[in-house]
């Protein structure tokens, strides 16, 4: 068992959950890559992920939470109340994102295999670029006003300790304080551990298709 996990259990230190800060971005990007090795974004590399994750720091409509142990990020949540959480991300970083995507395409077979499934995002990125001349883009609430949990991960060495629940509790608490009554998320059907976690954590299955299961939770 890794020493840090043993320390965590032995000293029964409470994990700290707080808003994601700029200083957490590099380590959260690494955690994202390690935790989402079967997902497209997990293959996009550190630079792409750092730009992506910074959209959840002090951002109107996007929310980031980080669980820290000994001042080191060991888990995170990315969430949004916005209908287009990535619009400013596409618009502000368009050229960098194109370069990083081409580089990923050339280097990584996973990106080559799955890029066509992301054409919807390419369309959204182009749309965001067109709106560039219109100046700053207003935050648009999710349809039905429901906050969405977009990603959650806990470092492999710290799983099974309740840290994921601490993170969702903080997210749900803030959403409730903001006046929302329900939150949603979706999971890939093969992600059995995450699905077990969501059910245990009070999320109710709403809809299931071959590619996605959606859950909601009363706040």
Min dist CB 146 to ligand COA, Å, is 17
The correct pick among 2, 145, 160, 202 for binding ligand COA (CB under 6 A) is 160
Interface characters, 64-83, with ligand COA (x: CB under 6 A): --------------------
- Does residue 152 belong to the site contacting ligand COA (CB under 6 A)? yes
Q: Which residues contact 165 (CB under 8 A, 6 or more apart)?
A: 200, 201
Kindly indicate which of the ranges 62-70, 87-95, 120-128, 149-157 contains the residues binding ligand COA, using the contact rule CB under 6 A: 149-157
- Does residue 107 belong to the site contacting ligand COA (CB under 6 A)? no
Min dist CB 150 to ligand COA, Å, is 7
- Does residue 200 belong to the site contacting ligand COA (CB under 6 A)? yes
- Does residue 35 belong to the site contacting ligand COA (CB under 6 A)? yes
The correct pick among 23, 113, 114, 193 for binding ligand COA (CB under 6 A) is 193
The correct pick among 53, 67, 73, 164 for binding ligand COA (CB under 6 A) is 164
Q: Which of 97, 85, 1, 106 is nearest to 49 (CA)?
A: 97
Interacting residues with ligand COA (CB under 6 A): 35, 151-154, 159-160, 162-164, 187, 191-194, 196-197, 200
């Amino acid at each position: 068992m890794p020493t840090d996990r043993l320390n965590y259990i032995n000293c029964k230190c409470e994990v700290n959950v707080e808003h994601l800060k700029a200083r957490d971005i590099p380590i959260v990007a690494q955690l994202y890559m390690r935790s989402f090795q079967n997902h497209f974004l997990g293959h996009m590399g550190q630079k792409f992920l750092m730009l992506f994750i910074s959209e959840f720091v002090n951002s109107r409509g996007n929310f980031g939470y980080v669980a820290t142990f000994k001042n080191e990020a060991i888990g995170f949540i990315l969430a949004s109340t916005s209908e287009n959480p990535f619009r400013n991300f596409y618009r502000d970083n368009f050229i960098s994102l194109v370069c990083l995507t081409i580089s990923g395409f050339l280097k990584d077979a996973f990106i080559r295999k799955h890029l066509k499934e992301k054409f919807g995002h390419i369309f959204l990125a182009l749309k965001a670029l067109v709106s560039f001349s219109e100046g700053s883009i207003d935050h648009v609430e999710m349809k039905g006003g429901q906050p969405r949990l977009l990603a959650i991960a806990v470092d492999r060495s710290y799983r099974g300790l309740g840290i994921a629940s601490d993170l969702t509790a903080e997210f749900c608490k803030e959403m409730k304080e903001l006046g929302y009554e329900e939150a949603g998320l979706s999971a890939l059907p093969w992600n059995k551990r995450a699905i077990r976690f969501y059910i245990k954590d009070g999320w109710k299955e709403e809809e299931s298709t071959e590619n996605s299961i959606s859950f909601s939770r009363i706040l």
